[in-house]
A and B are shown apart, each in its own frame.
Chain A
Amino acid sequence: MKMIFIKWMKIAIGILMMMINQSCRINFLQEKNNPSFDDIYKNLKQDWIFAREVKRDNFYNVDLKEQKGIEFKLFSLVFVRPESPAKLVENCLYFKMPTKEKGGILMIEENKNLNDCGETSGFKPKYEIEDVVQVKYFFEDEKLKLNFEVKEGHQNKKITWSFPMININDGPSTFHKFLPEKKNKKLPLLTIITSNEAQFEDNRYKDFASSKGQVFRCRRLNSECQIAGEDLCEKCPYGSFPAVGEECATDYDRYCGPNFCGEKGEPACPRGLKTKESDDDGFCEEGSVPQFENSLLICK
């Protein structure tokens, strides 16, 4: 009887182990692969509200029906995750085109390092949506629209996602009157900010300000008039202003404000790119003359 008891115990423990194993496996599978569309949408929406850049040359309707089995990068999107300290995170979106045998796959990767999105997806997308028939994405009314169709039995289910992109700085114009259409540039009026309280002790901004006798160049143009290095002018707390550089004759280098142009020892005020009646590229207050020094026209 003791033997029977031990045998029973073994069977019971075996069943228990199997049950636990099965539960864990189901749990694991559910968490890894099967968040619902709604959950993915909610999570993305919560992240992408803080998007500040969508990397793609132009937004346009993409209809990729013909490219069977090929994987495309749709776009990547940089957003601020408002944890403490706030972090910049990049999501990369890929779409693997459907074939006769297999539906398409929409993949969303997350990278902690910016500019890490490869041309094709890596090994571990954060989200995978299978059986996708086609994807369209476009930018409309300050919203990024992502529309796709998923195969459900014999029918296709249409899914429409819409993400407010209020911090993205390009889009339709808000200027009117007095301006030629092509010069229109949008100025966003609403910005969502991610920290809870201002950190007034943070003095990093001071590094990006000019002061009398010392200027901070935030955008340099090379001899081909291309931006050399990074354009840092968005960081300037007092805005930025153009000044005459030596390398590019058809555009300006930019310096962080405050702008003391024309004063002795400060950058000359630009006279213009096409006004060449005299030799002056810039003007200075009485008592000083414009001269180049370290590739910058200053008032000496």
Chain B
Amino acid sequence: METFKRHEKEISGILFITLIVILGYFSFHFVKKKLVVDQSDQVSKSQSEVDDILGQAARLHEIWSLGEKSQDWLRVKEKCVKKFKLIENFTENQIRCHPIILSCLKDFDKKNIWNFDLFENGELYQWVSKSINPTNLYDWEQLPSSGYRIKFRAGQKTLQFVLSDRCHESLIAERVYSYGKRSPRLQDDYHFDTFNRKILIDKYLVNEFQVYQWKRSRLLFLKKQNNNTSANEEAIRSLDRDISNQWDLQQFDPFKPATQLKIEEMKNYCRDHGGDLLSAPLYDAASFWFDELQDRNGYYWLKGSKVNASKVEMDCQKLYSKECLQNANYKVGFYGPSASGVFDIQGGILEALKNPLEKNKNLKLSSKYFAWNAPEQMLAERGEWNGQDFSLSALTMVGSDVSQKLNSTDKLEIGFRCYREL
């Protein structure tokens, strides 16, 4: 006891150190364990957020590609059609890969909650393409030729996706085709082929909505480029002017064919979509029945030249001619398809083309401006458009007087479509 008292301080010190060691050991393990648990909680939380977004993206991808056939579209269709006044030019299959679906799912889908995240300017989607939205190098290569950028948010996590807008294209068969009208002698026909080429042609004419999205994105892109050259500033002014003048958003019919673009604008539109304005030879490839090369008919639905075109009965469901104006409105994407799967090949509105073989013959004539039995309604009948304006004086037809053929009150409606090669 005496010894203990004598060494009380030392013994207390030893006990104290031992206690510290034991406490230190347990605290170290406790903190470590807590740290690991917290980290794994964070990982699994962040992973479940990513999983949520991926789940939504996969679901949306399915709806996007099924379009008019998806149950989700059918659920919101009625309200959607009403909201966007989709009546006149609307054929339902065009809703596929169209961002109107996104807006309507967001507004009217009661079954699912969509965690869309809006862009800075409050928009739900932005049209992008490789030329208009060059992000960093890797993304830019990954991007499809064009599509709609959207954002999803779950918790702290946001992921961006691009939904391709290219579901309405037809791949042209690889074979030999003829250009232009049938010549009396086979050897006088001009032939070309598309072997080893993957050519995709728009099934439908480019519409107002697409041009609006393109111009808006182009404007945003130019504004963000920090390019103060006068050409850039003029381009910005011009786009600003176009957007505010041409589109009255209240009266906006998204599916109406775009008919206000000059030919250079049409080319720029197609180039920004990774392609080019459809050329006359490819137009022919997409429109004639192609069973017999030298035996082509003047109407896209007729096989062989033996069918007498002058005796073909009028059918406004196949070709919308002048006579059809009285019975029904012209409906985009309704007439056809041709053997190659392309719509609105004949009738309806005029269509601008690029024509390297006969440079000036750049306008498909078959349209509502001509009577059913007019020679201009035949395939490969082309006029010359100055590419600039839409008055009658802008059109020349070899061997015909335009003023006699068309009403002086007519304003030319000239649409276009694009093609691209994979």
Contact = CB atoms under 8 A, between A and B. Distances in A.
B158 A196 contact: yes
Interface stretch (A5-13, A68-76, A100-108, A127-135): A5-13
B238 interface: no
Given A39-B40, A174-B65, A190 B163 contact: yes
A273 B175 CA distance: 10
A45 interface: yes
A238 B274 contact: yes
A274 B65 contact: no
A86 B137 CA distance: 9
B18 interface: yes
A175 B228 CA distance: 44
Contact of A252 (B60, B142, B197): B197
B250 to A, nearest CB: 30
A44 B221 CA distance: 35
Contacts of B271: 238-239, 257-259
A164 B58 contact: yes
A234 B142 CA distance: 8
A275 B191 contact: yes
Nearest to A268: B356
Contacts, number: 238
B192 A239 contact: no
Contacts of A203: 134
Contacts of A252: 196-197
Interface stretch (B7-15, B305-313, B384-392, B394-402): B7-15
Nearest to B224: A200
Contact of B138 (A1, A86, A183, A263): A86
Given A188-B144, A190-B64, A49 B54 contact: yes
A239 B176 contact: no
B210 to A, nearest CB: 17
Contact of A1 (B6, B65, B176): B6
Interface string B147-177: 1010000000011111110110011011010
Interface in A155-184: 164, 166-167, 174-175, 177-180, 183
A245 interface: no
A195 B134 CA distance: 11
Contacts of B173: 178-180, 183
A203 B141 CA distance: 14
Interface stretch (B24-32, B68-76, B84-92): B24-32
Interface in A42-63: 42, 45-46, 49, 52
A65 interface: no
A95 interface: no
B421 A239 contact: yes
Main SS of chain A's interface residues? Answer: loop
Contact of A259 (B32, B57, B161, B276): B276
A164 B197 contact: no
Contact of B359 (A45, A166, A286): A286
Contact of A269 (B6, B13, B28, B356): B356
B43 interface: yes
Given A189-B163, A193-B162, A199-B136, A275 B192 contact: yes
Interface residues of B, number: 92
A193 B130 CA distance: 13
Which secondary structure characterizes the binding site on chain B? mixed
A205 B359 contact: no
B29 A239 contact: no
A292 B177 CA distance: 25
A298 interface: no
Contacts of A164: 54, 58
Given A16-B21, A190-B64, A251-B196, A204 B142 contact: no
A178 B340 contact: yes
Contacts of B224: 200-201
A242 B421 contact: yes
B61 interface: yes
A271 B149 CA distance: 37
B41 interface: no
Contact of B10 (A5, A49, A191, A270): A5
B221 A235 contact: no
27 contacts: A5-B10, A5-B14, A12-B18, A12-B21, A80-B142, A86-B136, A86-B138, A164-B54, A167-B142, A178-B170, A187-B164, A189-B144, A189-B147, A190-B162, A190-B164, A195-B136, A199-B135, A235-B140, A237-B134, A257-B271, A258-B267, A258-B276, A262-B357, A263-B356, A272-B195, A273-B193, A286-B358
Given A189-B163, A235-B141, A269-B356, 12 more contacts: A5-B13, A9-B17, A12-B14, A45-B50, A174-B167, A199-B135, A201-B226, A202-B136, A242-B197, A257-B271, A257-B275, A274-B195
Top 5 A-B pairs, shortest CB-CB distance: A262-B356, A272-B193, A239-B274, A237-B131, A200-B224
